[in-house]
Amino acid sequence: MMDNALIIRSADKFRGKTQVLTDVDLVVAPGERVALLGHNGAGKSTLIKMILGLTSIDGGDISIDGAKPGSNVARARTAFLPESVNFHPTLTGREQLTLFARLAGGDRPDIDALLDRVGLSEATNNRIATYSKGMRQRLGLAQVLLGQPKVALLDEPTSGLDPISRQDLYAIINELAAHGTAVLIASHALTEVEAQTDRIAILRKGIKVADDTLANLSHNAGLPTRMRILVQAGQADQIAKATGGERINGASVELYCDANQKMQELRRIAAMGDVVADIELTPPRLEDLYRHYSKEGQT
Ligand SMILES: Nc1ncnc2c1ncn2[C@@H]1O[C@H](COP(=O)(O)OP(=O)(O)O)[C@@H](O)[C@H]1O
Ligand SMILES: [Mg+2]
């Protein structure tokens, strides 16, 4: 498939005798945002380093917009935000970014606009040594935006960021994708990628155990939706009995139902009349899915 900006085929990686990646397939199309999820040690950073040509590929192959990892072409087309970003501490943010822009060649970008874009306009003339981890990561993001890359690899981009700049981060990711960049975001922080990515791939001990849209993962996992019924005072036991649910306090009853039974259940409960004050539905969370897919095939 020539359409994909990033193609990983049957990738294997060994560290000594330990196999840390096994037969991993992963493709990312231009403009697609893919989350690569997995616990610490699952192999996310290793896979990214293989894409960058920073560590060897022990089996299978990887193509970046048709180029081999580590080649000049691949490097020119790839942007990378490492897990912890280290710049030259004595340079200011503006100096560091100007230096990167010069190294990248091409058009001379508007450095101040870029720094403003990542929320660093107040710190452009401060030395990087004075930056917090979050600020260094923002500078790293500015660097990612510099070259209009074909592929952007972000390794744990939200570590060290405060919640507000997490929103900024996703605004930037969406901007990259809108310009046709294939974006791969490695994260162990599950809640953050929910609804923010087009597809989710889950690595477990170096093996890809899931790769689909959030909606399809939910559907295929068959995880139940939680229903919480708020009932009128003194009616909880009665409603628990009638619904087959469980009373969780004086005023609510909880039950679980399959996604395809949801409307039927809702109608049945609504028909119970005024004793039902409210119904709250909670679909399975990414965390539940993650647990589900991580367990599957466990030996
Ligand atoms: N430089 C290295 N030398 C030896 N083992 C490593 C090295 N880097 C990572 N590993 C091992 O490879 C596995 C995958 O690690 P990593 O790719 O960093 O996982 P993740 O990024 O998902 O947390 C882990 O078991 C880790 O201990
Ligand atoms: Mg990592």
**How many distinct structural domains can be found in the chain?**
2
Q: Are residues 103 and 182 in the same domain?
A: yes
Query: Which ligand is nearest to the Cα of residue 157, counting in written order?
Result: 2
Q: How far is CA 129 from CA 89, 90, 144, in A?
A: 4, 6, 20
C-beta atoms surrounding 121 within 10 Å: 13
Of residues 2 and 32, the one with the higher pLDDT is: 32
Of residues 100 and 67, the one with the higher pLDDT is: 67
- Residue 286: predicted pLDDT: 72
- Which residues lie near ion ligand 2 (Cβ < 5 Å)? 44-45
For β-strands 225-231 and 199-204, DSSP reports them as: unpaired
Question: What does the pLDDT look like over 196-241, one tens digit per residue?
Answer: 789 999 999 999 999 998 878 888 888 888 999 999 989 999 999 9
Q: Domain range holding 251?
A: 224-283
Q: Are residues 40 and 173 in the same domain?
A: yes
Residues with Cβ within 8 Å of 53's Cβ and at least 6 positions away in sequence, in order, are 68, 69, 70, 71, 74, 75
Ligand 1 atom nearest to 48, measured from its CA: 17
What's the mean pLDDT in 118-129?
93
8 A C-beta contact, residue 126 and residue 75 = no
Distance between Cα 46 and ligand 1 center (Å): 6
- Residue 95: predicted pLDDT: 94
8 A C-beta contact, residue 200 and residue 293 = no
Distance between Cα 259 and ligand 1 center (Å): 38
Q: Are residues 186 and 271 in the same domain?
A: no
Return the best residue to mutate from 13, 17, 20, 54 for the ligand 1 pocket (most ligand atoms within 8 A of CB).
20
Is residue 298 over pLDDT 60?
no
- Please give all residues whose beta carbon lies within 6 A of any atom in ligand 1, as ranges: 15, 20, 38, 40-46
Q: What share of the chain is helix, strand, coil (3-state, %, to 5)?
A: 40, 30, 35
The CATH number that applies at residue 235 is: 3.30.70.120
The residue type at 42: A
Distance between Cα 159 and ligand 2 center (Å): 11
In a domain, 97, yes or no: yes
Is residue 20 over pLDDT 90?
yes
Where among 219, 253, 274 does a domain terminate?
219
The C-alpha atoms of residue 83 and residue 99 are separated, in whole angstroms, by 21
The CATH number that applies at residue 53 is: 3.40.50.300
In a domain, 296, yes or no: no
Residue with tokens 């058009």: 107
Question: What does the pLDDT look like over 145-175, one tens digit per residue?
Answer: 887 899 999 998 877 666 657 777 888 899 9
For atom 9 of ligand 1, the residue with the nearest CA is 46
Of residues 148 and 116, the one with the higher pLDDT is: 116
Q: Are residues 201 and 267 in the same domain?
A: no
- Residue 1: predicted pLDDT: 47
Of residues 109 and 277, the one with the higher pLDDT is: 277
Query: Which ligand is nearest to the Cα of residue 47, counting in written order?
Result: 1
Question: What does the pLDDT look like over 40-80, one tens digit per residue?
Answer: 899 999 999 999 999 999 999 999 999 999 999 999 999 99
* Mean pLDDT across the chain: 89
Distance between Cα 62 and ligand 1 center (Å): 19
Return the best residue to mutate from 12, 14, 15 for the ligand 1 pocket (most ligand atoms within 8 A of CB).
15
8 A C-beta contact, residue 13 and residue 205 = no
